[in-house]
Amino acid sequence: MIEFEPVIGLEIHTQLKTGTKMFCPCKTSASEAPANTSICPVCTGQPGTLPVPNMKAVRLGVAAGLALGCEIREVSIFARKNYFYPDLPKAYQISQFDKPLCEAGSVELDIKDAKGGTYTKTVRVHRAHLEEDAGKSLHALGSTQLDHTLVDFNRCGVPLLEIVSEPDMNSADEAYAYLIELKKLMQWIGVSNCDMEKGELRCDVNISLRPKGETRLGRKVEIKNLNSFKAVKDAIAHEIVRQTAALNLGETIAQDTRLWNEKEQKTVSMRSKELAHDYRYFPEPDLAPLRITAAFKEALKQEIGELPKARKNRFKTEYGLSSYDAGVVTAGKGLSAYFSACMAEVLTLKLNVPAKSVLNLVSSEFLARLNGLKKDSVTLDPGDKDLISPANLVIIAALTAAGKLSASAAKTVFAKAWETGRDAQALVNELGLSQVSDTGLIREWALEAIAANPKAAEDFRNGNEKALGPIVGVIMKKSKGTANPAAANSVIRELLK
Ligand SMILES: [Zn+2]
């Protein structure tokens, strides 16, 4: 058996957040509209019509390119990609070919490895270009029992940005992390909503295998139209197994386009792969070259502001967080603003609490409740009255860090503060949850606990460390969970010496 290494590249189509289509004034809210109601002579390819580029789509395309660290071409060219399909009435799609809007970018990923550690991986972005979407075919079985297909042109001309990565990923996990990062980036700068259920983010996977240590690429297979992150991960895992088995039997991998069958959890061949020359690309004669000035780029850069990677690095240096932790709280623009607001409160309230303690509370109790409110880390507003206030959250973190609140009591207070919006310190006092570190009081409880468990006390004296457990348990019960466990432990040891 030869050991193989998968080589993976992704092509992602993301719908740009415009009100109207790429080359005509039809609305893009087409997916919700009744079939064929958001169409016009331009997007249905009637003779004599002319396309007019959507300025907002161009702005968003450039913004996305800047966020991906791409070089933005001063002059890019729209091109016709010719193919016939019933849902494409023009018989060509306006796209970009040899002179795309954006080239040579990169995305940095933090990935968890099998041993529980993390590593950083850079995936290069080959190019990103503007294009229009095609319509949708609806295959149905008619009343006469004859198959028929209906076409809906509403999606024809919806603006897309196609982002093509280099084949830099080597596992399903890396491909998954890349998708998450790209989605975060597009949402962060407001380029796309990336709602996969609405078809606003679609993914094609290119995957080949090669013997470990080999630098040349193997023959690649394309898996088309994957519409969930899980499908991407599962399809890649399946292809790795399928191709490994075939290669070990000495078979050649057919260079084909495959579809993912969710139900059977396998890929099936759809057709042999088309090559670029099959599309007879040529420059779109109805559109002038697209010129992007340096001033336009500069203005957009200012508008975009701090990007996730820069914010992550700032959090690392400002708050001493690990790369992975900083990644957690910069997973969405709103969440990172909330965390910033928390750290600002730490200063205002002059609290002595490590950033890591605040982060732990944000990434556990806080995030767990966010989904319940149907809010997400992207659009989250730190001042939202439905959330626990940043000040209240850091007070709980500070009390826990100082040993004044046990981990379980902190959860109780957090839940109450979230529900009622009341002051955390007042809740701690009212619920009698202050952690007791007073050794005098703990000593009283410990004496009673030892008296109630003479056997355990004897066992501990004879060297059985585990016998301490039931005694500490009694102290916790007597103190209603408020005894500081470390203090309780040392008091018992002292008493039993
Ligand atoms: Zn139209």
Reported as a single tens digit per residue, the pLDDT across 221-268 is: 888 878 888 888 999 998 888 888 888 888 887 788 888 888 888 888
CATH number at residue 453: 1.10.10.410
Task: Enter the tokens of residue 171.
Answer: 């596992």
User: How many CA atoms are closer than 13 Å to the CA of 111, on its beta-carbon side?
Assistant: 21
Judge if 406 and 458 occupy the same domain.
no
Judge if 130 and 40 occupy the same domain.
yes
Judge if 105 and 206 occupy the same domain.
yes
Judge if 124 and 152 occupy the same domain.
yes
What does pTM read for this prediction?
0.77
Alpha-carbon separation of residue 325 from 111, 180, 187, 393 (angstroms): 12, 16, 20, 18
> Is the pLDDT reported for residue 400 higher than 90?
no
Tell me the residue type at 271. R
The CA 157 to ligand 1 mean position distance, Å, reads: 7
The CA 83 to ligand 1 mean position distance, Å, reads: 20
The band of 284, judged by pLDDT with boundaries at 50, 70 and 90, is very high
Give residue 204's pLDDT: 92
> Is the pLDDT reported for residue 270 higher than 70?
yes
The CA 19 to ligand 1 mean position distance, Å, reads: 12
For residue 303, tell me if it sits in a domain. no
Cβ-contact 15, 133 below 8 angstroms: yes
Closest by alpha carbon to 82, among 119, 45, 55, 57? 45
The CA 226 to ligand 1 mean position distance, Å, reads: 27
Integer Cα distance of 495 and 497 in angstroms: 6
Judge if 124 and 186 occupy the same domain.
yes
Judge if 471 and 411 occupy the same domain.
no
The CA 158 to ligand 1 mean position distance, Å, reads: 9
Q: Quote the domain boundaries for residue 469.
A: 439-496
Judge if 51 and 194 occupy the same domain.
yes
> Is the pLDDT reported for residue 188 higher than 60?
yes
Integer Cα distance of 171 and 156 in angstroms: 34
Closest by alpha carbon to 126, among 96, 104, 98? 104
Last residue of one domain, picked from the residues 405, 431, 457: 431
The CA 25 to ligand 1 mean position distance, Å, reads: 6
Judge if 269 and 204 occupy the same domain.
yes
The CA 330 to ligand 1 mean position distance, Å, reads: 38
Last residue of one domain, picked from the residues 262, 296, 330: 296
The CA 354 to ligand 1 mean position distance, Å, reads: 55
| H-helix segments, 126-277 | 172-188, 229-248
Judge if 389 and 417 occupy the same domain.
yes
> pLDDT, tens digit, for every residue of 291-343?
999 999 999 999 988 888 889 999 999 999 888 889 888 988 889 999 999 99
Judge if 92 and 220 occupy the same domain.
yes
> Is the pLDDT reported for residue 170 higher than 80?
yes
Angle 411-308-355 from CA coordinates, rounded to 5° = 35
The CA 56 to ligand 1 mean position distance, Å, reads: 16
Judge if 408 and 444 occupy the same domain.
no
The CA 44 to ligand 1 mean position distance, Å, reads: 7
Arithmetic mean of pLDDT over the chain: 86
Integer Cα distance of 337 and 396 in angstroms: 19
Domains: count for the chain: 3
Give residue 443's pLDDT: 81
Judge if 358 and 466 occupy the same domain.
no
The CA 94 to ligand 1 mean position distance, Å, reads: 14
